[in-house]
Chain A
């Protein structure tokens, strides 16, 4: 049974968003990390990169496969979690503690398209 955290928003492609004012903190769900298995590499964007909702901004790699990371929101990357460069397995240890990027949102209305915890739980069950 994978964990779904209350208070976060979720995308259909299994990213989560924590809203802190204009900033969206983005990670992947516990369901996603379980599906991937041992994560061996995180392909991160650069700070100041522009990301677009529904477009890929990076990828997670396991031994077997690469899985694109899809941005749930549009905006500018203001911070990336550099700890993941050396320790990609942190995402397996705790997918919610270990965020991937922070985005300054250009259109907060995009958040309306995301699911709340109950809806996401429903989708992944």
Chain B
């Protein structure tokens, strides 16, 4: 059965800008408007904007909201302040990852907004509904009613203030948000992102999203596609669900154990993670840098000098900001220590490299 591709409220604008469009996570999305390198650099040095309206928004409300979210989420939401955002995962009982997501603690009691990956909306929603049995909560998938723009880069704050007039957003610190009312409708602005730079994510109605985008475009903000979204998040050491996290890749394997609070009484997948944290784990995610300009790509084998395969590349690029060939790879844990020499098989040749920190690029968040 062929599934019909969805579009975001900004589809017409992307086409009018001449973007190269491609299917992603069930949506027709812009990959690039000009080229990946220029768009990447706009975000690193000035400001760029992404249409991320494909992301999912699910509201959890009800007397058991805190208890329920803490049951399905690896991070600990107890003690969250109103207007705070937390990153974490939802897990299967075996520790495999359902999705990675953001939890927004709302300004009204017993209400949380969960922002999930576009490719996982149907799966996550079904998962949440299933787990909600026995909890006094409502799980409400509002994904179709929200557009989202990510405004990212060192000039994001001044752009938000001068172009959209959101003066109060300048006071936000990393992983906090506040509400605005524009045209009588709610707008959520959080100091979050997926690029390693300072920036904001702006959630609004589809109609308002189109207006914001137009204003930002007229002010000279560089529209950026999913191509550079991937190069930016990769350099900043951030995982992409499907590549570095999946039903087969737990947060412990991905090196994201810090977002899994083992001192919580319980959450789905906790026992499996405890077992993995105790050392019962086969592979770990590492960064690898190679000396050559050849580019390690997802799926290429990671080897020892004698050709024994010990891992596989999950994402790789010739880094635009660092001018180095680097990748994430899942490797047997015996070879995961920093500076371990490893070889990457690229087509017919092998290239020597070594294990390096996954955060390749020094991030610039406003803490």
Contacts and interface: CB of A to CB of B under 8 A. Distances in A.
Contacts of A59: 347
B71 interface: no
A40 B297 CA distance: 14
Interface of B is mostly: mixed
Contacts of A63: 35-37, 227, 231, 317-318, 320
Contacts of A37: 32, 35-36
A41 B297 contact: no
A61 B36 contact: no
A43 B159 CA distance: 42
A66 interface: yes
Contacts of B297: 65-66
Given A63-B231, A66-B297, A41 B36 contact: no
B295 interface: yes
B293 interface: yes
Contacts of A68: 347
A64 B36 contact: yes
Interface string B188-232: 000000000000000000000000000000000000000100010
Given A40-B318, A41-B318, A56-B347, A61 B295 contact: yes
B293 A41 contact: yes
Contacts of B317: 63
Contacts of B37: 38, 63
Interface residues of A, number: 13
A61 B35 contact: no
Contacts of A64: 31, 36, 227
A63 B32 CA distance: 12
Nearest to A85: B293
Interface string B270-299: 000000000000000000000001110100
Nearest to A58: B347
Contacts of A38: 35-37
Interface string B225-263: 001000100000000000000000000000000000000
A82 to B, nearest CB: 14
A63 B35 CA distance: 9
Contacts of B320: 63
Given A38-B37, A66-B295, A43 B347 contact: yes
A61 B346 CA distance: 12
A65 B297 CA distance: 8
Interface string B296-318: 01000000000000000000011
A43 B227 CA distance: 22
A41 B320 CA distance: 13
A79 to B, nearest CB: 19
Nearest to B320: A63
A63 B231 CA distance: 9
B293 to A, nearest CB: 5
B306 to A, nearest CB: 23
Nearest to B31: A64
A43 B294 contact: yes
Nearest to A88: B293
30 contacts: A37-B32, A37-B35, A37-B36, A38-B35, A38-B36, A38-B37, A40-B293, A40-B295, A41-B293, A41-B294, A41-B295, A43-B294, A43-B346, A43-B347, A56-B347, A59-B347, A61-B295, A61-B318, A63-B36, A63-B37, A63-B227, A63-B231, A63-B317, A63-B318, A63-B320, A64-B227, A65-B297, A66-B295, A66-B297, A66-B347
The 4 nearest A-B residue pairs measured at CB: A63-B36, A61-B295, A41-B293, A40-B318
Given A40-B318, A64-B31, 8 more contacts: A37-B32, A41-B294, A41-B295, A59-B347, A61-B295, A63-B36, A65-B297, A66-B297
